[in-house]
Amino acid sequence: MKYADLHRIYHQPFFDLLKQARAVHEEHWTGNEVQLCTLLSIKTGGCSEDCGYCAQSARYTTSVQAEKLMEKEDVMERARAARANGSTRFCMGAAWKGVRVGTQKFDQVVDIVKDVSTLGMEVCVTLGQLGSEEARILKEAGVTAYNHNIDTSPEHYPNIVSTHTFDDRLSTIRHAQDAGMSVCCGGILGLGETIEDRLKMLEVLSNFNPHPESVPINALMPMKGTPLGENVQVDAFSLVRMIAVTRIAIPGAKVRLSAGRTNLSREAQALAFFAGANSIFYGDKLLTAANPRANEDLALIQELGLSVQQPFSDVPENEVASSAPSCATACAH
Q: Determine, following the binding rule CB under 6 A, whether residue 259 of this chain makes contact with ligand SAM.
A: yes
Q: Which of 83, 169, 247, 256 is catalytic?
A: 256
| Candidate ranges 3-11, 91-99, 265-273, 306-314; the one touching ligand SAM (CB under 6 A) | 91-99
Number of amino acids touching ligand SAM (CB under 6 A): 18
End-to-end CA distance of the chain: 43
Q: State which of residues 128, 212, 276, 283 lies at the interface with ligand SAM (CB under 6 A).
A: 128
Q: Is 198 exposed, middle or buried (0-12, 13-18, 19+ CB in 10 A)?
A: buried
Q: Which of 91, 136, 198, 261 is catalytic?
A: 91
Q: Determine, following the binding rule CB under 6 A, whether residue 134 of this chain makes contact with ligand SAM.
A: no
331 assigned to active site: no
**Beta carbon of residue 163, minimum distance to ligand SF4 (angstroms, whole number):** 8
Binding-site partner at residue 129 among ligand SF4, ligand DTB, ligand SAM, none, CB < 5 to 8 Å by type: none
CA dist 144 and 138 (Å) reads 9
Q: Determine, following the binding rule CB under 6 A, whether residue 246 of this chain makes contact with ligand DTB.
A: no
DSSP letter string, 227-286: TTTTPPPPPHHHHHHHHHHHHHHSTTSEEEE-TTGGGS-HHHHHHHHHTT--EEE-SSBS
Q: Which helix (H) or strand (E) holds 193?
A: none
**Under DSSP, is residue 24 helix (H, G, I), strand (E, B) or coil?**
helix
Q: Determine, following the binding rule CB under 6 A, whether residue 220 of this chain makes contact with ligand SAM.
A: yes
Dihedral angle computed from the Cα positions of residues 224, 228, 232 and 236, in that order, rounded to the nearest 10 degrees = -100
Which of residues 214 and 309 has its CB atom nearest to ligand SF4 in the complex? 214
DSSP state of 285: B
Point out which residues bind ligand DTB (CB under 6 A): 39, 55, 91, 93, 126, 147, 149, 186, 216, 218, 221, 258-259, 286-289
> Catalytic residue numbers?
47, 51, 54, 91, 124, 184, 256
